[in-house]
Amino acid sequence: MTEMTIHETTAAFINHLRENGKKERTLYTYRKDLDLIEGYIGKDKKLQELRITQVGKFLKCDALLKLGNGNARAERTVAKTIRVFRMMLVWAKDSGFIDELPLPKSTPMGHSKQTEVTDAEQQ
């Protein structure tokens, strides 16, 4: 397993998305989301050292939930940042950069409520 920093991981993830045809505007907004995450966690932190508790703290921090002027960030914007972070972590796991996803159980995984009900009914 290759040890990568958060910054190296975000750069590799953006490059992966670019190679898979994502538009530059999408990459720009994803990069902004990942910059926010890097700023909170630390760009030099090793991805393998990222823990669920740290991710949980980020999901509740003012850097994510509030704008620079102290006003609340739009829920849709917060949800997108969380989604991009989760996408990057899933990609890192699928790519072999981490063994486990450091995501709290409460992290939205992008499933609709209908899908969750259907899955529960099938079990």
Identify the CATH number of the domain in which residue 115 sits: 1.10.150.130
User: In whole angstroms, what separates CA 93 from the centre of its chain?
Assistant: 12
Domain containing 116 equals: 6-122
Q: What is the pLDDT of residues 90-103, one digit of tens each?
A: 999 999 999 999 98
User: Is 61 part of any domain?
Assistant: yes
pTM of the model: 0.82
C-alpha closest to that of 72 among 81, 84, 82, 63? 63
Sign of the CA dihedral with 61 first, then 83, 17, and 95 last: positive
Confidence check: pLDDT of 118 > 50: no
Characterise 3 by phi-psi region: left (phi > 0), alpha (psi -120 to 50), beta (else).
beta
